[in-house]
């Protein structure tokens, strides 16, 4: 049917909703995007893994507790669909830092729900800012 959304469209819409909730600091929206199961897992940059609904949502409550986190953007999305699993790999830009994220969704009762998020810093090989010169008098 022309105009109907494909699974890929709805998967990418779920991924966009994740970053929208993140940027707005909207915990309720974030909580609704994750599966209710205790099989969810999340690896924030620099953190060891959090596993289970309480640990994962507790971390998001703390992260989003301060309100809006903007500006957050994401680009270079690759959506990989296999059966009821949808994996989105994208580059996040958060506070000027680039991170490689993997967001894994499962199709549960007709909706894509997050079951895993991992975000890790990308080593950017670009011109470094000149360090402050050591002034020794």
Residue 84 CB, shortest distance to a second copy, in Å, is 7
Q: Note whether 94 and 9 are within 8 A (CB).
A: no
Residue found under tokens 């779920």: 14
Query: Does the footprint of a second copy cover residue 53 (CB under 8 A)?
Result: no
Taking the least distance from each CB to a second copy, the nearer of 60 and 117 is 117
Sign of CA dihedral 15, 20, 25, 26: negative
Single residue of 62, 80, 93, 97 touching a second copy by CB under 8 A: 80
Contact string (CB under 8 A) for a second copy, positions 98-127, x = contact: --x-x-x-x--------xx-xxxxxx----
106: enclosing H helix or E strand: strand 97-108
Query: Could you say whether residue 84 binds a second copy (CB under 8 A)?
Result: yes
Angstrom CA distances, 64 to 1, 18, 31, stand at 39, 12, 11
Instruction: Quote the CA–CA distance of 24 and 67 in Å, as a whole number.
Output: 7
51 binds a second copy (CB under 8 A): yes
91 contacts a second copy (rule: CB under 8 A): yes
Separation between Cα atoms, residue 121 and residue 137, nearest integer Å? 38
Q: Give the nearer residue to a second copy in terms of CB position, either 33 or 101.
A: 101
Contacts with a second copy, residue ranges (CB under 8 A): 37, 39, 41, 43, 45-49, 51, 76, 78, 80, 82-85, 87, 89, 91, 100, 102, 104, 106, 115-116, 118-123, 134, 136
């Amino acid at each position: 049917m022309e105009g109907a959304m494909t699974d890929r469209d709805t998967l990418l819409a779920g991924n966009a909703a994740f970053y929208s909730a993140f940027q707005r600091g909207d915990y309720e929206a974030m909580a609704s995007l994750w599966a209710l199961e205790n099989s969810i897992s999340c690896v924030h940059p620099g953190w060891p893994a959090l596993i289970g609904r309480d640990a994962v949502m507790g971390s998001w409550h703390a992260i989003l507790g301060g309100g809006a986190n903007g500006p957050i953007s994401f680009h270079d999305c690759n959506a990989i669909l296999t059966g009821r699993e949808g994996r989105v790999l994208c580059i996040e830009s958060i506070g000027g830092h680039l991170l490689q994220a993997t967001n894994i969704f499962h199709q549960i009762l007709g909706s894509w729900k997050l079951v895993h998020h991992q975000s890790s810093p990308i080593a950017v090989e670009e011109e470094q800012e000149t360090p402050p010169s050591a002034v020794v008098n």
